[in-house]
A and B are shown apart, each in its own frame.
Chain A
Amino acid sequence: MKQFIAFVRKEFFHVLRDRRTLLILFGMPIAQILIFGFALTNEVKDSEILVVDYAKDDASQQTISEIGASRYFNIRNAALTHKEILSTFQQGKIKAVVVFPAGFNRDLLHDNQAHIQIITDATDINTANMITNYLTSIIRDYQTKINENFSIPYQIIPETRMLYNPQLKGAHGFVPGVMALVLMLVSVMMTAISIVKEKETGTMEILLVSPFKPVLVIFAKAFPYLILSLINVTAILFLSVFALQLPVKGSLLLLFAESTLFIITCLALGIFISIKTDSQQIAMLISLMGMLLPTMMFSGFLFPIENMPVPLQVVSNIIPSKWYYIIVKSIMIKGLGIAALWKETLILAGMTLFLLTISLKSFKIRLQ
């Protein structure tokens, strides 16, 4: 035990000596949580749209000013022909076009039936969908307004409640996601690289011939990163509560316990990668190229997992950050306790055990 502590201390000095890496290690997650917490949102606002008004009458003007008054849209008036519309789309200047046909007001008053056409740039489907929805609801509100004098029979009025996140802030979904992403990559890369580095420079051999148990050498190398990652968790939570006004509805203690478990899973993955590879470059490419996109995609914070084809849903189960994302979201925002999360916890624990076991197995083979 005494040996182990001495070794851990040495590793700590090793890490702390490199000021620049340390700065990156702490500065990076903090900057990312702040930037993404504030900048990312699934909402659509300030979208540039083009209004093509062939009617130029009261009704069309009023509708246009309703659209312009909402924070979702900035109106540009310009094009009139199909060709002009097309070229404005091609210049990437607008997201949608609203077309009022000639005689809009007349149709509305005399036939009680008027049409508005919405054209969206569906190269960006999410935005296109949202814009259509927002525009439709603005137009529907306008219709209700002009119908105030008519008594409309049999109205069903849906009332929508937004659970957990009434202001629809992006941070509620993105912060737990970025947290899972950052912690994962930092812990995996750091451990993987620091162990491979010893191999590459040849110092590993020296460590291995020492009377110190090889397994403990590896653990001692991973230990400082556990502490550093925990400090990171603390900083991130602090920021998300005080800067981003995210709640921590559930138990803070549980959140830390689960974070520790997740970090250990990542460290185990890092150890596994480092045992399987021989050069820093490969270790890094695997942890970055091989993991950055998949973790982003499969954690569930960017794309809903249940929408994926079944084989990919199965694949998503082996991504640790998927489980951690569910855990953080549940504890922080939903305020759930361990009773609701035991399954996720067991899965992470199982992964850790598995990774450590196969790492240690292949590690022994290397020594023979």
Chain B
Amino acid sequence: MRTLRFLLRKEFRQIFRDKAIVAMIFLMPVIQLVIMPMAADYEVRNVNLSVVDNDKSTYSQKLISKVIASGYFKLQGYNSSFKEAFRLIESDKADLILEIPHGFERNLIREDKQKLFVAVNAINGTKANLGGAYLSNIIGNFNADIRMQLVQQPRFSSFPVINVVASNWFNPVLNYKVFIVPGILAILVTMIGGFLAALNIVKEKEVGTIEQINVTPIKKHIFILGKLIPFWILAMIVFTIGLILARLVYGIIPVGSLMVLYAFIAIYLLSVLGFGLLVSTFCDTQQQAMFIMFFFMMLFILLGGLFTSIDSMPDWAKLVTRINPVRYMIEVMRMVILKGSGFQDVMQHFGAVSLMALILNGWAILNYKKTN
């Protein structure tokens, strides 16, 4: 125990000696947490629309003004041909084209049926796809309006209609910040903890100071603990600062219990730090450690369910996400902070990260060889 205390004192001194690193640990997450959520916005508004109106009739005008009035679309301009409009898509100036064919109004009235063309830039889906869906909806409503005007309405409509009423729970106004802030906080804490831990032992190896520790009678697990605890504390502080920021800047107040949240993050951090230390014991240079961490961090983050849904991944990728600690962290953050889930609900998540923490730290201790 006494050895551990000395070790910890040494580690803390080492960390705090380098002002640049301390600034990095605390400032970088703060800045990123404040700025990044503003950038992460999928909300469907200002979808750039180009209109090709070949009909120039009262109806086509009405439809267009209805589309614009919806507030989702920004009219990039009227184009005289599809080809011209397509050029706007090519240069990313437009996301959608609405093409109203010749004789739109005439055919609609005479033949009861008329097509409309919508072209969507489908390279990176979400915004254009949702935009396309909204456009279809507006066209549907416009259609209903027209019908209302033209048909002698009986008291009830003459054919069955199903009305869909949608409501959004836990985030009724669909605020993107609420959705993204807990996820980004999870990632920032993971990166801080993971990178620092990964660099640490390997740095001592590279500089040679590890030899000195190896010749002392310090036990392996005490040594690893000495490395683990400082980063654990730092990451906890960063997490707390992040929670406070989320509240002050974005007004996000956890619905669920803070106890559950902290209990989870405490264990979660052990697994992330364990992973970092394990990488550290495998590598000879900081460069290697950094690259391996970079590789896994990208995997963890992009397969973590923050940016794309895990449900829609292929089965093998879903399996991979099961050993991805970040996935559990992001889920728990959303569940506890936004939905108010309790311990019962996140028990499995607790189990998963505890197991990972045990395996990774155990492995790191085994893999750290004093004689080399």
Q: Is A189 an interface residue (CB 8 A)?
A: yes
Q: Which residues A146-183 have CB closer than 8 A to chain B?
A: 146-147, 150-166, 168, 170, 172-174, 177, 181-182
A147, B41: Cα distance in complex, Å: 39
Q: Is B209 an interface residue (CB 8 A)?
A: no
Contacts of A130 in B (CB 8 A): 129-130
Binds A, one of B108-116, B228-236, B364-372: B108-116
Contacts of B345 in A (CB 8 A): 87, 90-92
Q: Which of A92, A127, A156, A336 contacts B139 (CB 8 A)?
A: A156
Q: Is B160 an interface residue (CB 8 A)?
A: yes
Q: Is B58 an interface residue (CB 8 A)?
A: no
A137, B135: Cα distance in complex, Å: 13
Contacts of A333 in B (CB 8 A): 123
Closest A residue to B116 using CB positions? A158
Contacts of A330 in B (CB 8 A): 90
Contacts of A234 in B (CB 8 A): none
Q: Which residues A27-85 have CB closer than 8 A to chain B?
A: 28, 31-32, 35-36, 38-48, 63
| Chain B positions 111 through 128: 1 when the CB is less than 8 Å from some CB of chain A, otherwise 0 | 011111111111111110
Binds B, one of A207-215, A252-260, A288-296, A347-355: A288-296
Asked whether, in the complex, the Cβ of B42 is within 8 Å of the Cβ of A125, the reply is yes
Asked whether, in the complex, the Cβ of B40 is within 8 Å of the Cβ of A122, the reply is no
Asked whether, in the complex, the Cβ of A92 is within 8 Å of the Cβ of B308, the reply is no
| Chain B positions 15 through 50: 1 when the CB is less than 8 Å from some CB of chain A, otherwise 0 | 000101100100010001001101111111110100
A277, B18: Cα distance in complex, Å: 13
Asked whether, in the complex, the Cβ of B161 is within 8 Å of the Cβ of A122, the reply is no
A193, B286: Cα distance in complex, Å: 9
Asked whether, in the complex, the Cβ of B314 is within 8 Å of the Cβ of A189, the reply is no
Contacts of B191 in A (CB 8 A): 288-289, 292-293
A160, B178: Cα distance in complex, Å: 32
Closest B residue to A99 using CB positions? B165
A193 and B171 in contact (CB under 8 A), knowing A39-B303, A164-B123?
no
A91, B49: Cα distance in complex, Å: 40
Contacts of B48 in A (CB 8 A): 306
Asked whether, in the complex, the Cβ of B151 is within 8 Å of the Cβ of A153, the reply is yes
Binds B, one of A4-12, A220-228, A261-269, A297-305: A297-305
A281 and B286 in contact (CB under 8 A), knowing A90-B341, A153-B150, A172-B124?
yes
| Chain B positions 287 through 305: 1 when the CB is less than 8 Å from some CB of chain A, otherwise 0 | 1101111110111011100
Asked whether, in the complex, the Cβ of B294 is within 8 Å of the Cβ of A288, the reply is yes
Closest B residue to A152 using CB positions? B159
Contacts of B124 in A (CB 8 A): 42, 172-174, 177, 301
Q: Which residues A98-150 have CB closer than 8 A to chain B?
A: 108-109, 111-130, 132-133, 135-137, 139-140, 142-143, 146-147, 150
Taking the closest CB of chain A, its distance from the CB of B129, in whole angstroms, is: 7
Taking the closest CB of chain A, its distance from the CB of B205, in whole angstroms, is: 13
A303 and B312 in contact (CB under 8 A), knowing A21-B288, A123-B171, A123-B338?
no
Q: Which residues B132-175 have CB closer than 8 A to chain A?
A: 132-133, 135-137, 139-140, 142-143, 146-147, 150-151, 156-172, 174
Q: Which of B126, B192, B195 contacts A42 (CB 8 A)?
A: B126
A137, B169: Cα distance in complex, Å: 21
**Chain B interface residue number, banded:** 35 or more
Q: Is B212 an interface residue (CB 8 A)?
A: no
A293, B184: Cα distance in complex, Å: 9
Q: Which of A31, A280, A285 contacts B295 (CB 8 A)?
A: A31
A284, B24: Cα distance in complex, Å: 11
Asked whether, in the complex, the Cβ of A115 is within 8 Å of the Cβ of B312, the reply is no
Q: Is B91 an interface residue (CB 8 A)?
A: yes
A154 and B294 in contact (CB under 8 A), knowing A21-B288, A42-B124?
no
Taking the closest CB of chain A, its distance from the CB of B179, in whole angstroms, is: 5
A336, B143: Cα distance in complex, Å: 38
Contacts of B86 in A (CB 8 A): 163
Q: Which of B91, B116, B311 contacts A156 (CB 8 A)?
A: B116
Asked whether, in the complex, the Cβ of A170 is within 8 Å of the Cβ of B308, the reply is yes
A288 and B312 in contact (CB under 8 A), knowing A40-B302, A92-B331, A173-B124?
no
Asked whether, in the complex, the Cβ of A155 is within 8 Å of the Cβ of B113, the reply is yes
Q: Is A309 an interface residue (CB 8 A)?
A: yes
Closest B residue to A278 using CB positions? B20
Q: Which of B150, B171, B286, B311 contacts A46 (CB 8 A)?
A: B311
Asked whether, in the complex, the Cβ of B136 is within 8 Å of the Cβ of A158, the reply is yes
Asked whether, in the complex, the Cβ of A41 is within 8 Å of the Cβ of B313, the reply is yes
Contacts of B160 in A (CB 8 A): 108-109, 112-114, 143, 146-147
Q: Is B317 an interface residue (CB 8 A)?
A: yes
Asked whether, in the complex, the Cβ of A35 is within 8 Å of the Cβ of B299, the reply is yes
Q: Is A358 an interface residue (CB 8 A)?
A: no
Asked whether, in the complex, the Cβ of B286 is within 8 Å of the Cβ of A284, the reply is yes
Contacts of B113 in A (CB 8 A): 154-155, 157
Q: Is A318 an interface residue (CB 8 A)?
A: no
| 11 pairs from A and B in contact (CB 8 Å cutoff) | A47-B312, A92-B331, A116-B164, A120-B167, A123-B338, A157-B114, A189-B290, A189-B294, A284-B286, A306-B48, A309-B38
Q: Which residues of A contact B (CB under 8 A)?
A: 18, 20-21, 24-25, 28, 31-32, 35-36, 38-48, 63, 87, 89-92, 95, 108-109, 111-130, 132-133, 135-137, 139-140, 142-143, 146-147, 150-166, 168, 170, 172-174, 177, 181-182, 185, 189-190, 193-194, 197, 277, 279-282, 284-286, 288-290, 292-294, 296-298, 301-304, 306-309, 312, 316, 326, 329-330, 333-334, 336, 340
